[in-house]
Structure 1
């Protein structure tokens, strides 16, 4: 004899992902298959990045293959450093509302931002390296690193 449902139970069973179908994924299943946190999935839904899924009579979300595909797309885009607005623009293209040239423009803007960050990090690396090289270490009470941090960008107070 199989499990018995409680009297009055109307929730539809939710099927797990199979090779042929992804219909019926719970939010936990979607999270597990995409590696995306459950709260993040709910956030993406509230932000309109993924469509609201249908719900069972018991109120549980039921995700399908398209939800899985979009969450993977968003996660991959975010891992590449795209902002949510940039992801939104890319999804509009994926939905057929923009041209490939527009996606290229978004990508090139993002690439420029990444290159600026790399340049900033390289300047930071040089500054830290130069500052650390001025320090001899040891037990001296004076430290060029601390002196540099206290003096960097600070304007002297008027007397």
Structure 2
């Protein structure tokens, strides 16, 4: 497992249970079946995360990370943000190379750029990429840092 993703998962687990609402992880073969079906190669560090948490919400209300649909899951899928739905549900001016992997609370999207193999933030108001990270792990680490500045481990908001 990617060491940065592993550190972020350890950080997530320090928080009181109602700070995040993350789904149980899925097996790699399910992720690989998604990749094969849609002819997409997901970043390894994102797949590492999905094996522990198959999407869900960080810092409720906050960032919703997309998961992969598991036909064998007992979890209600209609209430989940899923990658296969994101393939069709894009903004009109969002390029085909972008796969939405997370939604930010204020409407922007975190995407995997399938051509350049980087993670980007797509600004829904101006219709373009505004921020770029080298990896999913780098984005997740920054997201956890921002959340940690706002919320204590017990779930209370930090004083400004």
Normalising TM by the smaller chain, what interval? under 0.3
Q: Whose strand fraction is larger, Structure 1's or Structure 2's? A: 2
Q: Which has the higher contact order (CA 8 A, sep 6+)?
A: 2
> Scaled by the length of structure 2, what TM-score is found?
0.25
Greater Rg by CA: 1
> Scaled by the length of structure 1, what TM-score is found?
0.25
